[in-house]
Structure 1
Amino acid sequence: MKEIMTGLYQDHQHIGRLLTILQNKLATLELGSRPNFQLMSDVLDYLEDYGDGYHHPREDLLFGYIRHHHHECESLVNQADNEHQELARLTRALRESVDQVLLDAPFSLQDFCKRLARYIDTQRRHLSFEEQRLFPLIEQYMTMDNWQDFSEKAPYRHDPLEAENRSQNYQQLANALIEDLADG
């Protein structure tokens, strides 16, 4: 149980760092400079692959246990479900916008900045909501049987950005993240 929750919190920390990168790119745009759009695309690809493809489904399964056994929590779980769907949609849309910029398609800087700012804000509010409202419920209500069942239904996948498990696809992103965070 502790390992699973630690993993969820670590995922949130990593997502937070990625959001900081996007926030830095937004600041660059707002100053009138051109940020590294390829890095932005890589961040969004990661959030789509790992965040929407692995992290959120694991959370959804955990939240399902809470919903099933503690009906008073249903509205909170429904909110998380809706936010996961909205975040997946926003991630796809923003990644498509970034990809268009990479293809030198014309774009409205003002609209793009608004979309990026909304995305960052929505992600940050979602992380906070889960950590403050849902993670404590998981820790309170999940039984040993629930944890065992969860482990069988949702096998662990290493975060592809972690050094010891870094996939080739994410090596460049990891290096860029380290440099970008070091530059402030």
Structure 2
Amino acid sequence: MIMRPGQQLLLPANPGFIWFSLFAALAFNMLLNMGLFGRAAWVPDLLAVVLVFWSVHQPLRIGVGVAFTFGLTMDVHQGALLGQHALAYTALGFLAISMHRRLLWFSVPNQAVQVLPLFVAAHVLEFLVRMAAGGTFPGLPYLLAPIIEAALWPVVSVLLLAPQRRAPNPDDNRPL
């Protein structure tokens, strides 16, 4: 793959780190749902952000099946309609994998703008499933969640790519 000018060559992603970050995002999501905010409509879905990130950067390791499994886990945790999050995460994973080659050509702030429609689509899909099952309207703050998730994209990119940016054997004479 041809790299953009100024783009740093990254080390391969450690599979243990990928899974650790996914389970940490799952745990943090669960804490956010039980914690101070409860199930506030505007709270971002951090697991969705991390799933999209790894689906874009490691599409052969993290795919639709992983997204579906984590979605079922979130459904069970929240006591939501079984398959609501699974459907949204599966759609997110599919869309992220389908656009991963194009997305990586953009800078990180532009990537955040590019993934915003993915997060909006996932929230609309969850909303439609919830409404079809007879749920209540979550209110206008529900529209803030995808915007906050897209705003978190640069932070997540820096944090999750940090282990890959280090040199395998640091040397003062090596430019990589």
Instruction: Using structure 1 for the length normalisation, give the TM-score.
Output: 0.32
Which structure has the highest helix share of the two? 1
Instruction: Using structure 2 for the length normalisation, give the TM-score.
Output: 0.34
